[in-house]
């Protein structure tokens, strides 16, 4: 390696280290500021909670196992709705692609449903389906499904026309075009769609839990705010942050592999 090259590499390493340290320091600073200002009663710890109070309630709920229970419920609902959205989204997009008339007919409906603020449907779904997990999962699905169908279908339509011609010259019909060309060439779009959806599913599940749950992180947040246990609310939000970061990272790894 030349002198200049190793100099360049060293500079890059230093830059990265500075970025990482600064991020970490900001995190520590916020924690300290938060903790100190509540200790000194500059802000009311009863309303704003504090890192030490969050840690304490977290430890307590770990010991009785209740936090794991609530996390697993929220995660389970998120995973289930996520897989249903992917399967239904791809399935319906394929149907629309195979049957142009159908897609021309229902496109305006899809666009309207997709532009609707998703949480607006939730109360109605819960009245229809009852105060249960089914309603929560359907709420989560309703948040993401329309966008997923539209996105994937639009991706399908961008399939290269000349490549479609190629399949036809090789004697293939719609099914060959679909399986050999449209689906593989849309893989990137589908995977990047997963990334958006995992976040939306979590949003949908939390909305559903606000309205209909007896367990889960959304339930903890709404319950905590009603009984003024702000430590519980703050802790649930912190856990949600961690969960969504982990889920995002998992999809990110999948995306890199494809």
CB-nearer residue toward other proteins: 81 or 186: 186
The residues, ordered by sequence, that sit 6+ positions from 187 with a Cβ below 8 Å of its Cβ are: 258
CB-nearer residue toward other proteins: 65 or 161: 161
CB-nearer residue toward other proteins: 185 or 244: 185
Nearest-approach distance from CB 193 to other proteins, in angstroms:
17
- Of the candidates 165, 9, 212, which has an alpha carbon nearest to the alpha carbon of residue 204? 212
Q: Which residues lie near other proteins (CB under 8 A)?
A: 160, 162-163, 165-172, 176, 180-181, 184-185, 187
Vertex 21: Cα angle to 18 and 24 (nearest 5): 150
Nearest-approach distance from CB 187 to other proteins, in angstroms:
7
Nearest-approach distance from CB 136 to other proteins, in angstroms:
37
- Of the candidates 143, 139, 141, which has an alpha carbon nearest to the alpha carbon of residue 131? 139
Q: Report the 10 Å Cβ neighbour count for 203.
A: 18
Nearest-approach distance from CB 173 to other proteins, in angstroms:
9
CB-nearer residue toward other proteins: 172 or 199: 172
- Confirm if 243 and 218 have CB atoms less than 8 A apart: no
């Amino acid at each position: 390696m030349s002198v200049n090259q190793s100099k360049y590499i060293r500079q890059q390493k230093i830059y990265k280290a500075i970025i990482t340290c600064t991020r970490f320091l900001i995190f520590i600073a916020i924690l300290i500021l938060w903790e100190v200002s509540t200790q000194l009663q500059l802000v009311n710890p009863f309303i704003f909670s504090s890192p030490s109070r969050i840690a304490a309630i977290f430890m307590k709920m770990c010991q009785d196992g209740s936090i794991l229970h609530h996390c697993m419920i929220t995660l389970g609902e998120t995973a289930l709705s996520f897989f249903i959205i992917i399967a239904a989204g791809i399935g319906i997009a394929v149907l629309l692609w195979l049957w142009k008339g159908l897609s021309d007919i229902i496109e305006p409906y899809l666009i309207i449903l997709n532009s609707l603020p998703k949480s607006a449907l939730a109360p109605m779904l819960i009245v229809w389906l009852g105060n249960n997990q089914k309603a929560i999962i359907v709420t989560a699905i309703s948040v993401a499904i329309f966008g997923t169908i539209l996105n994937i279908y639009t991706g399908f339509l961008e399939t290269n026309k000349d490549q479609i011609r190629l399949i036809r010259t090789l004697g293939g019909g719609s099914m060959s075009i679909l399986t050999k060309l449209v689906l593989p060439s849309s893989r990137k779009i589908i995977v990047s769609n997963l990334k958006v959806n995992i976040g939306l599913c979590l949003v949908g599940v939390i909305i559903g839990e606000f309205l209909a749950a007896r367990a889960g992180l959304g339930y903890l947040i709404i319950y905590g705010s009603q009984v003024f246990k702000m430590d519980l609310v703050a802790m649930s939000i912190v856990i949600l942050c961690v969960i969504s970061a982990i889920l995002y990272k998992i999809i990110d790894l999948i995306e890199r592999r494809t």
